Amino acid sequence: MNTPTPGSLPLIQLKTERRSNHPWIFQKMVEKPANKPKPGSIVDIVDREGQYAGRGFYNGHSRIALRVLTADPDEAVDEAFFARKIGAAIALRREVLKLDAVTDAYRLIHSEGDGLSGLVVDRFANTLVIEFFSAGMFRQRDLIKRILLEHFPGADTYAFAEEHVQKQESFDLSHPPTPKPTVIHEHGVAFHAAPGSKHKTGFFADQRDNRLLLAQWCQGKSVLDLCCNSGGFGIHAKTIGGASEVTGIDLDEEILEIAEHNARLNKVRIKFIQADIFAWLRDVAANPDKKFDVVILDPAKMTRDREQVIPALKKYLDMNKLALGAVKPGGIFLTCSCTGLVSEEQFLDMLRRAAFYANRSVQVLKVTGAGADHPWLAHVPESRYLKAAFCRVE
Tell me what pLDDT residue 287 has. 84
- Residue 196 predicted with pLDDT over 90: no
Tell me what pLDDT residue 57 has. 98
Phi then psi for 296, rounded to 5 degrees? -115, 135
Residues 341-364 have a mean pLDDT of 96
CATH topology of domain 79-169: Transcription Regulator spoIIAA (3.30.750)
Q: Would you say 275 and 248 are in contact if contact means Cβ atoms under 8 Å apart?
A: no
Write out pLDDT tens, residues 101-117: 999 999 999 999 999 99
Side chain identity, residue 32: K
Helix, strand, coil percentages in the chain from 3-state DSSP, rounded to 5: 35, 25, 40
SS3 385: coil
Write out pLDDT tens, residues 219-254: 999 999 999 999 999 999 999 999 999 999 999 999
- Residue 166 predicted with pLDDT over 60: yes
Tell me what pLDDT residue 273 has. 97
- Residue 383 predicted with pLDDT over 90: no
Tell me what pLDDT residue 203 has. 83
Tell me what pLDDT residue 194 has. 81
Side chain identity, residue 238: K
Instruction: Name the E strands within the chain.
Output: 11-13, 24-26, 41-46, 52-58, 64-70, 105-110, 119-124, 127-132, 156-160, 182-186, 189-193, 222-226, 245-250, 271-274, 292-297, 327-337, 362-368, 387-393
- Residue 177 predicted with pLDDT over 60: yes
- Residue 200 predicted with pLDDT over 80: no
CA atoms within 13 A on the CB side of 274: 9
**What rounded mean pLDDT belongs to the chain?**
94
Integer-rounded Cα radius of gyration of the chain? 23
Spatial distance between the Cα atoms of 355 and 123, rounded to a whole number of angstroms:
38
Q: How far out from the chain centre does Cα 81 lie? A: 25
Percentage of the residues of the chain whose pLDDT score is greater than 90? 87
CA distances from 208 to 3, 104, 233, 327, 365 (A): 39, 11, 9, 23, 18
What is the CATH number that goes with domain 11-70? 2.30.130.10
With a CB cutoff of 8 Å and minimum separation 6, the contacts of 298 are: 207, 225, 226, 227, 228, 229, 233, 334, 335, 336, 338
Percentage of the residues of the chain whose pLDDT score is greater than 70? 97
Spatial distance between the Cα atoms of 144 and 121, rounded to a whole number of angstroms:
10
Give just the sign of the alpha carbon dihedral 87, 93, 98, 101: negative
pTM of the model: 0.92
Spatial distance between the Cα atoms of 258 and 270, rounded to a whole number of angstroms:
13
Spatial distance between the Cα atoms of 122 and 109, rounded to a whole number of angstroms:
7
Alpha helices in 193-288 (DSSP H): 208-215, 232-239, 253-265, 277-285
Write out pLDDT tens, residues 33-58: 999 999 999 999 999 999 999 999 99
Tell me what pLDDT residue 5 has. 55
Residues 88-113 have a mean pLDDT of 97
> What is the DSSP pairing of strand 271-274 with strand 245-250?
parallel
At the top level of CATH, which class does the domain 204-393 belong to? alpha beta
- Residue 176 predicted with pLDDT over 80: no
CA dihedral 46, 48, 51, 54 (to 10 degrees): -30
Spatial distance between the Cα atoms of 235 and 241, rounded to a whole number of angstroms:
9
Q: How far out from the chain centre does Cα 309 lie? A: 18
Tell me what pLDDT residue 199 has. 55
The ranges assigned to domains in the chain are 11-70, 79-169, 204-393
Q: Would you say 145 and 109 are in contact if contact means Cβ atoms under 8 Å apart?
A: no
Spatial distance between the Cα atoms of 68 and 136, rounded to a whole number of angstroms:
11
Write out pLDDT tens, residues 4-39: 555 689 999 999 999 899 999 999 999 999 999 999
Residues 175-202 have a mean pLDDT of 81
Tell me what pLDDT residue 372 has. 97
